[in-house]
Amino acid sequence: MDNSSNEDGFKIERRTGTTQTYTQIAIVGANVTSYNDSGLVAGDTYCYRVLAFNAAGSSPYSNKACAAARPDARSVLLAAVLPSSRSVQVGIVATAFATIINRGHNLATACKIAPFNSVAASFHYQTTDPNTNLITGTADTPVDITSGGF
């Protein structure tokens, strides 16, 4: 809430955990009442404080507000499958290629692929090394994908 009427802007400071020192992370304009902080690590605790400033000086710091970061609800895992659709003659093996990328900050666990809808057929998948395309692991076994990995 903006309780001042004569500010030129606000300085926003953050610290990780409850014992680190604060670091200025942003300066926002007058009457700004929200700030989106990105690049946080899910599960880590962050504390924030704010002060208003104008030509005469700065206000005292606000009370601190602390909370644990939650995983990004937007697309943390991205996937692409080629071909996107395919007709296959009964009894003939069909191959599709899928890539899953972990854009999140944490390990994505038990990743696997499955048909979008129920089909009267057997479905299997196999992991491969993204650099060499050589088979890795065991067929039909979910894998963990590191942060930034695929």
- Beta-carbon contacts of 138 under 8 Å, excluding residues fewer than 6 positions away, are none
In the predicted model, is pLDDT for residue 22 greater than 90? Answer: yes
Q: pLDDT tens digits, residue range 81-139?
A: 666 555 666 777 777 777 788 877 778 888 888 776 666 677 788 888 877 888 888 88
Question: So what's the pLDDT on residue 106?
Answer: 77
Q: Beta strands 9-16 and 45-54: pairing type?
A: antiparallel
- Entry pTM: 0.49
Cβ atoms within 10 Å, residue 135: 11
Residue 105 region by backbone torsions, left for phi larger than 0, else alpha for psi between -120 and 50, else beta: alpha
pLDDT band for position 24 (cuts 50, 70, 90): very high
User: Of 9-23, 25-39, 86-100, 126-140, where does mean pLDDT reach its minimum?
Assistant: 86-100
**In the structure, what pLDDT confidence band is assigned to residue 144 with cuts at 50, 70 and 90?**
confident
| pLDDT value for 23 | 93
Locate CATH 2.60.40.10 in the chain: 9-68
What CATH number was assigned to the domain covering residues 9-68? 2.60.40.10
